[in-house]
Amino acid sequence: MRISRRALIVGTTALASGFAARGANAWDGPFFDVVEGAEDFGIASDAYVYGYPLVTMEMTRRVMTNVVKAEGSRAPMGTLIKLRTYPDATFRDVTAPNADTLYTTAFFDVGAEPWVVSVPDMKGRYFLLPFLDGWTDVFQVPGSRTTGTGAQTYLVTGPGWSGTVPDGMVQLKSPTGLVWMLGRIYCTGTPEDYAAVHALQDQFKLFPLSAFGKDYAPPDGKVDTAIDMKTPVRDQVNALDAAAYFTLLAELLKRNPPSAKDAPALERFKRIGLVPGQSFDAKSMDARWAKRLPQFSFDRIMLHFKLSDGDVKNINGWGYTTKTGLYGTDYLQRALVTAIGLGANRPQDAVYPTSLKDKDGRDYSGANKYQLRFAADQLPPVKGFWSLTMYDAAMFFVANPINRYSMSMRTNPKLEADGSLVIYVQNESPGADKEANWLPAPKDRFNLMLRLYWPDENNPSILDGSWVIPAVTKVG
């Protein structure tokens, strides 16, 4: 029987205390290398998990802003990104793209001075404008749910700012210098609606407070050729060895201070030399941990998906969480959401149940036919909208003859005589009379995601579990 090195670390760390009385000589040989310094290794792993969101946000910022001018899904710091169309089956920039909302987004730094964000009158159109700090917490979320759809102007301020807020602006206090505005605007995807949303996007404004009252055009960005623009960000973060990871984390902590609630954790992290406001001494890191620590720690993060003690629910083959956007001291949950869904909203704004297998644990396959049936009074309870999206095994859109990547009420499906809704999930058309309810699948493995924007908080609700997602069933 083969035992992996990571499994050995877990097992021997647990046994270490029981054999401590035997002395170091008892661990001479292969076990000594694993168990020696096990307590410090555990603290370092906790620190790795703690810092994972901040490091990932920074690496994401570097990639997304490493251009001269706005182009596609990238733009320099302080420049608005305005996505104009929904992606198609050729899109590969990010996994699990959506075909429900057009993004209006930007990275900017409020460490030196505040920034002004001006939102036009959205004329009743659904939108949300979450602001994420460097730790991935959604510290404010203007939008239809919270502020309505009228014109709004915000002053986003950084840690410790104490100036005067100009008349007509609402202050949004960011806990960190790094801010990611990740706006979403509902769009039906028709040429007419694209044009209407584009007009709204073009009225958004973003500029530093020092430019208030002046003509302002964002400066060109500078391209850093040392930044890897091809490797996925998560892979880049995971490839950092322990010393490089903590060196970067320590530098980021200088401009993105930890929360006061993190004090107990930070006191522990001093033992490995991670102190907010101070640089990290890479030479102090045990060389044996270079690769072992990141691998072990990321495994812990991903295991939280299955061993979350309620942070992630699994019902009828659908996995989802309502613990997103604000994390407190739940560092494992925060790191997990960062790894699998960076930029997640607060649950009051969106919940994203995902089904990778059917309720019996079998992979979905386009060789079979499936149905998802919502009873007449059991459609997803939302105040915004809902959609069911089809992805291939790699979480990208699936090419199909009717260019349909998601199903929702805006695609005008036909209801059954009793008012229920049946969605046909299969590779081939279910027939002309049922094609309005067809969500095309690939010929091989696929995954599904049900998006619920602005879920209803009254019973029944997915937020308290009183609304239960029906299972996708195999038919025929």
| Cα 213 to chain centroid, rounded | 35
Domain final residue, candidates 309, 339, 364: 309
The mean per-residue pLDDT over the stretch 129-148 comes to: 98
Asked if 336 and 465 sit in the same domain, the reply is yes
| Buried b or exposed e, range 278-301, using 16+ CB within 10 angstroms | eebeeeebbeebeebbbebbbbbb
The domain tally of the chain equals 3
Residue 320 lies in a domain: no
- Residue 446 above 50 pLDDT? yes
Asked if 84 and 172 sit in the same domain, the reply is yes
Q: What residue numbers bound the domain in which 359 lies?
A: 331-475
Residue 363 lies in a domain: yes
For residue 303, the domain's CATH number is 1.10.3360
pLDDT at 306: 85
Asked if 52 and 104 sit in the same domain, the reply is no
For residue 343, the domain's CATH number is 2.60.120.600
pLDDT at 20: 38
* Mean pLDDT for the chain overall: 91
To the nearest whole percent, how much of the chain has pLDDT over 90?
A: 86
pLDDT digits (tens, 9 = 90+) for 81-124: 999 999 999 987 777 889 999 999 999 999 999 999 999 999 99
Residue 224 lies in a domain: no
pLDDT digits (tens, 9 = 90+) for 50-92: 999 999 999 999 999 999 999 999 999 999 999 999 999 998 7
Asked if 13 and 48 sit in the same domain, the reply is yes
Least confident of 26-35, 40-49, 287-296, 313-322: 26-35
Residue 314 lies in a domain: no
The mean per-residue pLDDT over the stretch 414-441 comes to: 97
For residue 161, the domain's CATH number is 2.60.40.1610
- The β-bridge relationship of strands 350-351 and 445-455 is antiparallel
Asked if 178 and 281 sit in the same domain, the reply is no
Asked if 356 and 416 sit in the same domain, the reply is yes
Asked if 197 and 297 sit in the same domain, the reply is no
Element (H, E) at 414: none
The mean per-residue pLDDT over the stretch 314-320 comes to: 95
DSSP label of 54: H
Asked if 202 and 79 sit in the same domain, the reply is yes
| CA–CA separation, 191 and 431 (whole Å) | 27
How many other CB atoms sit within 10 Å of the CB of residue 437? Answer: 21
- Residue 26 above 80 pLDDT? no
- Residue 9 above 70 pLDDT? no
The mean per-residue pLDDT over the stretch 267-294 comes to: 95
| CA–CA separation, 73 and 133 (whole Å) | 20
Residue 32 lies in a domain: yes
- Residue 1 above 50 pLDDT? no
How many other CB atoms sit within 10 Å of the CB of residue 391? Answer: 22
What would the two tokens of residue 206 be? Answer: 């973003």
pLDDT at 92: 77
pLDDT at 36: 59
Asked if 268 and 364 sit in the same domain, the reply is no
Residue 216 lies in a domain: no
- Residue 6 above 60 pLDDT? no
Asked if 186 and 84 sit in the same domain, the reply is yes
Asked if 96 and 43 sit in the same domain, the reply is no
How does residue 34 score in pLDDT terms, banded at 50, 70 and 90?
low
The mean per-residue pLDDT over the stretch 454-467 comes to: 96
